[in-house]
Amino acid sequence: MTGDGTMEPVRFNGWPELKETFLANNLEATFILAPLAISLREQGVPIKIVYLGHRDGTTMMVRKDSTVFRIEDLRGRTVAVPNRFSNQRLILFKAFKERGMSIQDVKLVEMPPPDMPAALYSRSVDAVISGEPFMAQTEMDGYGRVLFMTKDVWPEFISCVLAVPEDLIRTRRADVQRLVDGIARSGKWLDRDMAHRMQAADFSGKQYYHQDPKLLRFVLSKPPDRVKYTNLSLVRKDFEEIEALGREAGILNGSAHFKDYADTSFVRDETAVRPFDWEGPP
């Protein structure tokens, strides 16, 4: 996130609270689960996706001593997903379909990501899938093992998108543009140099996330493509895949399409985005 005086980050602890605050018009912009944004649009909420926050950055973990070594081994196991509107749930649909399995083969439970490490540790569930840093935490603490990363199953995976209320694009276009530019340029800055990522881990861990910088350093470097901050423009076919899986998963009804919920006008040419030239932390 860019620290630019007029932008005020508001941290939430759960998707429902974030969604409700957005619905009550108390947020000018928000990062939100991609399928949740599409679903809100289907339900008539004037929400527009304007950019992505990152790509990939989701991992599925099992316990180190688990007998699950391939996705196929998940049959009959209990799997925790963050939210029924999360793309982490949809990636399971995709992964299972490609392996001739169905979602009925596992028992899905919804669980806030911060609770997942403890649930995995205590063997309450057999596998957990969510965004970072909660998955890396199980790995760093020595009881979690990566079953797959999104790049193995769904390269360029989209978890969260940047969305704004539609009328804001008219009334405060310059502000939205400044936010998108800030994300695009700092994303390129992050991905240009591992040293930048380490600086960002230290800075944002303290400033925004209240998370251990060591953990964030791990997330951003092991491996470096665990999460990516480039190629954040909205691509129609990515979202059409999410739409199709969302219908299959029963969370979308297919009444909203890319042109309804996406506005690609803020970054027309991804290659033209110039990284920030910060040297120290922003």
Residues in the site for other proteins, rule: CB under 8 A?
1, 5-18, 20-24, 26-32, 53-54, 57-58, 82, 112-115, 117-118, 121-122, 130-134, 137, 141, 159-160, 172, 175, 179, 208-212, 215, 219, 227
State which residue, 105 or 212, has the beta carbon closest to other proteins.
Answer: 212
CB of 204 to other proteins, least distance (A): 9
Which residue, 76 or 121, is less far from other proteins as judged by CB? 121
CB atoms within 10 A of CB 26: 10
We find the least distance from the C-beta atom of residue 249 to other proteins, in angstroms, to be 20
Residue burial 114-148, b: 16+ Cβ < 10 Å; e: rest: ebbbebbeeeebbbbbbbbbbbbbbbbeebbbbbb
Would you say 32 or 38 has its CB closer to other proteins? 32
Cβ 253 to other proteins, closest distance in Å? 22
Q: At its nearest, how many Å lie between other proteins and the CB of residue 99?
A: 25
If the CB atoms of residues 177 and 264 are measured against other proteins, the closer one turns out to be 177
The answer to whether the beta carbons of residues 266 and 175 sit under 8 Å apart is no
Concatenated DSSP letters of 96-161? HHTTT--GGGSEEEE--GGGHHHHHHTTSSSEEEEETTHHHHHHHTTSEEEEEEHHHHSTT---EE
